[in-house]
Amino acid sequence: MTIYRGTVLDTPESPFDGAGLRAEADAGIAVEHGVVVDRGPFAKVRAARPEDDVIDRRGGVLLPGLVDTHVHFPQVRVIGGLGKPLLEWLDGCALPEEARMADVEYAAEVADEFVDGLASAGTTTALVFGAHFAPAVDVLFERSAARGLRITAGLVVSDRVLRADLATTPEQAHADGLALAGRWHGKERLRYAVTPRFSLSTTPALLEACAALLDDVDGALFTSHVNENRAEIAAVADLFPDHDHYVDTYHRFGLVKRHSVLAHNVHPSDAELEVFAATGASVAHCPSSNSALGSGLFPLRRHVERGVRVALGTDVGAGTSFSLLREGLQAYFMQALLGEDGLPLTPAHMLYLATRAGADALGLGDEVGDLSVGRQFDAVWVAPDPGTTLAHVLGHAADADDALAKVFALAASSDVREVWVGGDRVR
């Protein structure tokens, strides 16, 4: 048994329902076999376990492991491809790199960079868009398992519109997905996600094959994109004239369920929000990507008021880093820019969106998302070097909420000193 000592901040209850930040200045967290078994003031936890090892992490803050609900493994090397809206960015920037994943040695190098990027940013759990090539997805799962991260991922499938070397067929997509899930789903900390790229690049027959795969793999998740960009939305409406709206192109096939995650939803109709609310499916809000591609200002207030689940995603490589701390700050900026239509975010909201909300979206709420007794010890120690601006301002924080605001404003991956997943150190 090990006792971790430090300033612990987490959000077991939703600030959107009025809860505040849970903060303990000198806390002890006792961990056995990777699970939190006791928590409270350090002196009390220590007194009950005088023989246990103590890992002293005072200075800085201990946060729950960060949860990224939307990130693309093949796009690490295209981060920073600025200057284009979505469809031009896909053609000119992202898809040529996605095509390079056909070379499994290239994919293996990128997979190493990808899992390192996640762990370095303090991301312990992620829902990951894999590659269009099954061997590249095998490599992603292999490297994720070796690093010990909690990863849900799948083969990305497409059978129209995109470049031909990324295309599959409904039969092939089902067979490849079933084989990959057989090799990885439920192994270590890995799970499978059925992943059509988006309705724009998938025929109804391929979406039917995705629904069959979702039925065939018990506990698999579903993920895709929706309502990101107005030109994309118009193109989808042309391709699916009999469907009510973009969300319906997935919902009609039975793909929108409690643990489905659709990225973006920047331009939803009220009817689409109703589908999310009724099914319990989640939206992955990716604010730096929405900003970089000029996709729009996410209507968080409309989602929250209708009871739609929202969590954060980095959307690397349209997103500009692996850091969910930066995404939290960018979400705050965008809500501020929306003025009266925005939903002002507190530091507790930002932490909740980056941790607890993501765990709930991915069906891992009983295991991770906060540092309560019974959860896995997935945690991040953010501790700046002495003399840095973050160290100066943290030293003058008025209270725990203020300290957390300063972490969101200033912390870089270099301030993420230590990261644990299930009690295993991954950084």
Kindly tell me which of 191 and 225 has the beta carbon lying closer to Zn ion.
225
Sites for Zn ion among residues 317-356 (CB under 5 A)? none
Q: Which residue is nearest to Zn ion (CB)?
A: 315
Kindly tell me which of 62 and 137 has the beta carbon lying closer to Zn ion.
137
CA dihedral 272, 274, 277, 282 (to 10 degrees): 0
Minimum CB–partner distance for residue 231 and Zn ion (Å): 16
Minimum CB–partner distance for residue 85 and Zn ion (Å): 14
Kindly tell me which of 92 and 182 has the beta carbon lying closer to Zn ion.
92
- For residue 265, CA distances in Å to 53, 262, 313, 387 come to 47, 7, 12, 41
Structure-block tokens of residue 181: 């899930």
Sites for Zn ion among residues 239-278 (CB under 5 A)? 263
Kindly tell me which of 22 and 132 has the beta carbon lying closer to Zn ion.
132
Minimum CB–partner distance for residue 238 and Zn ion (Å): 21
Minimum CB–partner distance for residue 396 and Zn ion (Å): 38
Piece in contact with Zn ion (CB under 5 A), picked from 77-85, 113-121, 206-214, 310-318: 310-318
Kindly tell me which of 75 and 168 has the beta carbon lying closer to Zn ion.
75
Instruction: Say how far residue 245 (Cα) sits from the centre of its chain.
Output: 25
Piece in contact with Zn ion (CB under 5 A), picked from 91-99, 269-277, 294-302, 311-319: 311-319
Contact 54, 46 (CB under 8 A): yes
DSSP string, 17-77: GT---EEEEEEEEEEETTEEEEEEEHHHHHHH-TTSEEEE--SSEEEEPEEEEEEEGGGGG
Kindly tell me which of 10 and 97 has the beta carbon lying closer to Zn ion.
97
Piece in contact with Zn ion (CB under 5 A), picked from 111-119, 182-190, 215-223, 314-322: 314-322
Structure-block tokens of residue 425: 């150190």
Q: What is the distance between the alpha carbons of residues 328 and 310, in angstroms, rounded to a whole number?
A: 12
Count of residues near Zn ion by CB under 5 A: 2
Minimum CB–partner distance for residue 263 and Zn ion (Å): 5
Minimum CB–partner distance for residue 313 and Zn ion (Å): 7
Q: What is the distance between the alpha carbons of residues 86 and 318, in angstroms, rounded to a whole number?
A: 9
Minimum CB–partner distance for residue 1 and Zn ion (Å): 41
**By CB under 5 A, residue 98 contacts Zn ion:** no
Piece in contact with Zn ion (CB under 5 A), picked from 191-199, 309-317, 379-387, 419-427: 309-317
Contact 138, 176 (CB under 8 A): no
The identity of residue 38, as a single letter, is D
Structure-block tokens of residue 8: 């612990």
DSSP string, 310-331: EEE---TTTSS-S-HHHHHHHH
Angle at 227 between CA 225 and CA 228, to 5 degrees: 75
Q: What is the distance between the alpha carbons of residues 13 and 186, in angstroms, rounded to a whole number?
A: 28
Kindly tell me which of 62 and 318 has the beta carbon lying closer to Zn ion.
318
Minimum CB–partner distance for residue 361 and Zn ion (Å): 15
Q: What is the distance between the alpha carbons of residues 265 and 216, in angstroms, rounded to a whole number?
A: 28
Per-residue mark of binding to Zn ion, 193-232 (x: CB under 5 A): ----------------------------------------
Q: What is the distance between the alpha carbons of residues 75 and 86, in angstroms, rounded to a whole number?
A: 14
Structure-block tokens of residue 290: 């929405």
**By CB under 5 A, residue 315 contacts Zn ion:** yes
**By CB under 5 A, residue 159 contacts Zn ion:** no
Minimum CB–partner distance for residue 36 and Zn ion (Å): 32
Kindly tell me which of 128 and 263 has the beta carbon lying closer to Zn ion.
263
The dihedral sign for the CA sequence 31, 35, 37, 41: positive
User: What residues line the site for Zn ion (CB under 5 A)?
Assistant: 263, 315
